[in-house]
A and B are shown apart, each in its own frame.
Chain A
Amino acid sequence: MTAALQLVNVTKRFGEKVAVDDLSLTIEAGSFVGLLGRNGAGKSTTLKMATSLIDPTAGSIHVLGLDLRTHSLEARRQIGVMPEDMALLELLTGPQYLRFVGRMYGLEDADIDHRAAELFDTLDLKAGPRTLVSDYSFGMKKKVALCAALIHRPKLLFLDEPFEGIDAVTNRTIKDILLQLQQRGVTLVLTSHILEVVEKLCPQIAIIDDGRLKGFGTLEQLSAGSTSLESLFVSLVGGTPRGALSWL
């Protein structure tokens, strides 16, 4: 197996603050990895570095065998990203946006339109032809962001909180698509705070806390007696559930 993503001793500092601290992680091609961590643990910063949106302060990152320092453009051609804030061009309509994204990946207009129509259909994305993305509901925006991340058939897909703030039906649709992608050999890395989703979807789990990797492997490998992912997560990040509020 070859590595789809390899981070070696990666550190990222923002001034005094160390967001990611000497992190090393190798994700094999075709894996489906859930990246977990508390708020501010360094998950999003790690994803931003892996997608070459920001440069690491130290260490090296290889994506699909390409060193991001020297081949970031080639790497970006083969990855798909669904950022947490979705980063959509909201003054375009959905089809206009996908046309724009497809063109940026060098696709032919006919291919883009064909793929966009299929994606819209599969994801049940129904909006007026003149409706701007800014007028879409939150769930619809998530779907458009997923379409944009998929339209160029990426080999490696990063999803930052894809299930946050969406309804049950959309949730199910996205899960189905992700499983389909995994079956077709696409490597998937997702972050989520919903541990049940990660437990069901992701065969492998990476847990980050204070910018450091606390554990990486299957649930069985990591659990060592823990009954659930939640218990494992809490024990690894050292959080202790507090008692009830005295004044309530």
Chain B
Amino acid sequence: MAVTPFRSIATAHLQSTWNRLRRQLGARGVLIFAVVVLVLLASVVLPILVGLGALGFFIGYGLREPDAKTWLPFVALFTTAFPLFGGFLGGLAGGTRQLPWETLRAFPVRARSLFAGELFAGAAEPITVVELGGLALLCLGACIGAPRATPYFLVLLLTHGLALLSMQQLVGSFAQRITKRFRVVLVLLPLLGVSMSWLAPTMAKYARSGSLDVWLERLELATRWLPSRALLEAARGGTSGWQVAVALVTPFALLGGVTLLAYLLVSRERDDGPVESNGPAEKLWSFDSQTAGIARLQWRTLSTSIPGRFALLMPLLTLVLIRGPLAEVFTGRAWTAQVAFAYASLAGTNMLFNQFGLDRHGVKVLLLLPIESHALLRGKLIGFAAWHAVQAALLFVLLLLSGQRDLLDLFAGLALYTCVFLIFSMVGQFASIWQPRPLQKNSLRSTQAPVLVVLLTLGTLSVTGGALYALRFVVTTFLPGWELGAFLLFGLLLLGALFPVMALNTAFLSRNRERLVETLGASG
């Protein structure tokens, strides 16, 4: 019997993932990676999953208790947020649809079969496996805690699990679309960012000003419309007759809506064809040195590519976070700006660790031209520095506009940003030559980093974060108010280290030009 497109796509997904791992790590590397994954599973993922199972059990067990009415809205909110945020994470991580949609559309398979195949194949991605496992254990725990309510929790698992997968596709497709219409995004997102940054603290202040009972009452009212709340009420036995039918139907109706929307968005992804510009001819470049030419080329590459432009949105997203959720966490502390700059500095990691990625087969031109390796690396560093300077300046202005008036803190944040940039540039140059991979200029897709680079990034991140936090801790303990000076001094030290490290990276590049040509040169 012929294999269904669904199984075929799912198999191809798994084979691609496995082949990629084996290619990047080699047979022994896969074993090492498996050990690392097992350690991570045992130390981080397993406790979370067990915790969710236990939480589910207590939810199920406590359903018929009189005080259940108090905490049920929170559970409803949590179970609704699970597929929304889970799908959001999965969609942004780019794990879904690693098979090019354009290729799949050439086959004699209905778009809905392709979509279904992609939808379920997305469940095999690591992040999604953990999310779905968590949801399953939560529901399993609840079923053990309240065996009679099992059908309701099964409906909850089915609908919310599928909603998570649909959200993944929806977010993936939406991210693809909005990045294609960058000018619209540039107008909409600042508006959204500023309004959110104003709205979130206002709402929090408003919520705090009322008594707890009023706040709970509002939450209770708001969550009444959630399908998960209807299911939980039915599981508690708090509803009967037609209300039970409604409880069972609404989650499916909502799921159908989300899935249909995702399907419509994904199935309408089309080749937009060539874009013609009728504007005046661009001014030709002039530069005095090879380094300046490469720097200008790098700036141009970043400013005209979607991944590069997307990085410009990070200051806005940071502002929303800082004025919203993080403002609640770091309430009353004076170093909000430093947190903001530290967070934003991580945005460009992907490209700093793959500095030749956007050149794709253009890398052959760079290596064929009589350009010295050091000029190539230095030019790219300057190009990236200019691009990051724009991001930092944007964040600086946005923080100023949003009421952050402590200039010392703002400049300390800028210095911190520079330190992180210098460290990531030094390690990134090495990673870019060691494990290059092509990046698409007009898409956010196909940007999955090799596992080794992911591990290197995490390592660099941990060491950098630890070192900078330790530095800040020492300064605030012994020399309070001198953070700016400390970060500037540390930045100068890093700048001093940059030149010998770049010399090492230059030698590494000279030895590995062939690797770059082989890996990137073939990409069209």
Contact = CB atoms under 8 A, between A and B. Distances in A.
Contact residues on B (Cβ < 8 Å of other chain), bracket = 35 or more
Contacts of A54: 270-271, 273
A106 B278 CA distance: 46
B26 to A, nearest CB: 11
Q: What are the nearest 8 A-B pairs in CB distance?
A: A14-B273, A103-B8, A76-B108, A77-B108, A91-B16, A104-B107, A87-B103, A103-B3
Contact of B102 (A53, A93, A106, A130): A53
B274 A104 contact: no
A193 B354 CA distance: 35
B102 A89 contact: no
Given A104-B8, A107-B2, A14 B107 contact: no
Contact of B12 (A15, A81, A92): A92
Given A83-B106, A109-B3, A132-B23, 8 more contacts: A48-B271, A54-B273, A76-B106, A91-B19, A91-B23, A91-B98, A103-B3, A134-B23
B470 interface: no
B19 A16 contact: no
B99 interface: yes
Contacts of A12: 273
B274 A91 contact: no
Contact of A96 (B15, B100, B270): B15
Chain B: interface secondary structure? loop
Contacts of A4: none
B522 A138 contact: yes
Nearest to B105: A53
B5 interface: yes
Interface string B1-29: 11101011001100110011011000000
Contacts of A77: 108
Interface in B8-58: 8, 11-12, 15-16, 19-20, 22-23
- Interface-centre pick from B3, B104, B108 (highest chain A CB count, 10 A): B108
A105 B275 contact: no
Q: Which of B2, B23, B105 has the most CB of A within 10 A?
A: B2
B110 A73 contact: yes
B230 to A, nearest CB: 39
A213 interface: no
A81 B104 CA distance: 12
Contacts, number: 92
B271 A104 contact: no
A91 B99 CA distance: 9
Contacts of B107: 76, 101, 104-105
Contacts of A109: 3
Contacts of B105: 53
If over half of A's interface residues share one DSSP class (helix, strand or loop), that class is named, otherwise mixed; here it is: mixed
A87 B8 contact: no
Interface in B103-125: 103-110
Nearest to B111: A73
A54 B272 CA distance: 9
Given A17-B276, A103-B5, A132-B19, A89 B106 contact: no
A103 B2 contact: yes
A100 B108 contact: no
Contact of B5 (A74, A96, A104, A107): A104
Interface in A3-32: 12, 14-17, 19
A238 B457 CA distance: 56
A105 B5 CA distance: 9
A100 B1 contact: no
A93 B108 contact: no
Contacts of B273: 12, 14-15, 17, 19, 45, 54
Nearest to A152: B108
24 contacts: A15-B276, A16-B276, A45-B273, A51-B106, A53-B106, A54-B271, A73-B108, A73-B109, A76-B106, A76-B107, A81-B106, A89-B99, A89-B103, A92-B19, A96-B19, A100-B11, A101-B107, A103-B3, A103-B7, A103-B8, A105-B107, A106-B108, A108-B1, A130-B22
Contacts of A45: 273
A66 to B, nearest CB: 11
Interface string A48-60: 1001011000000
Contacts of B271: 48, 53-54
Given A76-B106, A87-B102, A87-B106, A100 B8 contact: yes
